Amino acid sequence: MTSVVDHRRDLASALVAAGTVRSPWLRRAFEDTPRERFVPRFYRSVSGHEALVDGTDPQQHQEWLRGVYTDEALTVQLTPAPDLAYGAGAPTSSSSMPTVMAGMLEALDLQPGHRVLEIGTGTGYNAALLCHRVGAHNVVSVELDPALADAARQALADVGLFPAVHAGDGTAGLATAAPFDRIIATAATDHIPPAWISQLTPGGIIIVDLRGSLAGSLLRLTALDPDIVEGTFQDLPGAFMPMRTRVDSPHRDGESWDQVFDQRNPQRTTTPVDPGLIADNPSLRFMAQLHLAGRRLRGFLRPLSGTELSGRSTDGSWFTARLHPDNDGLFPVAQGGPRRLWDTIESCYALWQRLGEPNAAQFGVTAYDDTALQHVWFDNPDSQYQWPLPL
């Protein structure tokens, strides 16, 4: 039977072999930090249902331990969401995928003694990795959910680490502990919270998953001036759960999906653009959300059935596009509501092709500590192609 120490070593070696872990300190941090102490149980999706895998259950112990040392995100909390089609609830906390954590920690360029702010303590495991490099007294972690913050504080204490874990909304940073040399957000945001910019030291770095409703991407920002950060998206997919404002809701800003869509009298057209091509292309999904900034989308760009792609926006707009062409080789589209969502997607597709089908790593962000002055750009900060935040 593989021992816990072997599991840990295997995970660290796999991350090194994959090139995700490059720094010796990070390898040691993965080898030394007992993920199993931070994830005593997790949910696994089995045939569309979430099943609990509990390390204290002797029957499940081995499955649990294997899961803990697999390179996967582990959901540790579900929150009921009556307006979503989730059975037990939507995931609202997890221990992130080790590959993603490693990529972020490498991109953070942590040096001993740096003051670090983490947003989204979750299980506390990533905070423990941070402590390994900079010392627990230099780590401040903020978690929205007080129960999660308590559990993480306890798990950290159990392994002898005492960083400052605060319960609260991480968009405010933590002014009383600022300034920070590094800020790492392990929950996704649709803009750069101004407090993070003003709490960053000159030359400081922020790593965050910036995402709208369609695709996240990890962004690395550097402080250029006290009130401005700038940087590019990394070649690392972001798959973080969105930052929330309410502990009892999985939605990112208390949004609800209860509204009724008026599907009478839709506008019916055809399109030469194959909706199936758009559905599964991460680069295109990334760019589409720039075009759809500010709108909350659901079921978008992902086939809900075998025959149609459909999308709904919280402003009541909707579309469906058939995945099979008609006899003329065109794809039938129906859309309605205040905005023509499909038309926006189609014009985004045309621009994406004109720009050479870029992926997220060819885009960047300039953000002032005023949300009205934050935007995404293509290729360079002075580009003619710019999109406003929030997404």
Ligand X SMILES: C[S@@+](CC[C@H](N)C(=O)[O-])C[C@H]1O[C@@H](n2cnc3c(N)ncnc32)[C@H](O)[C@@H]1O
- Residues annotated as catalytic are 96
Pick the closer one to ligand X by CB: 171 or 362. Answer: 171
Please tell me the count of residues contacting ligand X according to CB under 6 A. Answer: 26
Among 20, 33, 75, 93, binds ligand X (CB under 6 A): 93
The nearest distance, CB 142 to ligand X, in angstroms, is 5
Q: Which two tokens stand for residue 299?
A: 């079921």
Distances (CA, A) of 307 to 3, 74, 140, 333: 48, 32, 49, 12
Pick the closer one to ligand X by CB: 149 or 214. Answer: 149
Pick the closer one to ligand X by CB: 119 or 367. Answer: 119
The nearest distance, CB 154 to ligand X, in angstroms, is 14
d(CA 32, CA 191): 35
DSSP, res 10: H
Strand positions, DSSP E, the chain: 41-46, 49-54, 74-79, 90-95, 116-119, 139-143, 164-167, 180-185, 200-211, 216-225, 228-238, 267-271, 297-303, 308-313, 318-322, 331-336, 363-368, 374-378, 386-388
Interface with ligand X, residue 144, by CB under 6 A: yes
- Of residues 210 through 249, those in contact with ligand X by CB under 6 A are 240-241, 243-244
- Of residues 186 through 205, those in contact with ligand X by CB under 6 A are 186-187
- Of residues 321 through 350, those in contact with ligand X by CB under 6 A are none
Which residues lie below 8 Å from residue 150, measured CB to CB, with a gap of 6+?
A: 167
Owner of token pair 């949300």: 371
- Of residues 114 through 143, those in contact with ligand X by CB under 6 A are 119-123, 125-126, 142-143
Among 33, 92, 138, 232, binds ligand X (CB under 6 A): 92
- Name the nearest CA neighbour of 2 among 68, 57, 73, 51: 68
- Of residues 273 through 292, those in contact with ligand X by CB under 6 A are none
Pick the closer one to ligand X by CB: 142 or 195. Answer: 142
H or E element: which one contains 31?
helix 24-32
Pick the closer one to ligand X by CB: 120 or 231. Answer: 120
**SS3 of 226, please?**
coil
The nearest distance, CB 39 to ligand X, in angstroms, is 8
Pick the closer one to ligand X by CB: 14 or 247. Answer: 247
Strand partners, 238: 216
The nearest distance, CB 95 to ligand X, in angstroms, is 4
Among 31, 169, 227, 308, binds ligand X (CB under 6 A): 169
Stretch of 88-96, 199-207, 256-264, 323-331 contacting ligand X, by CB under 6 A: 88-96
d(CA 147, CA 124): 12
Q: Would you tell me which residues interact with ligand X (CB under 6 A)?
A: 92-96, 119-123, 125-126, 142-145, 148, 169-171, 186-187, 240-241, 243-244
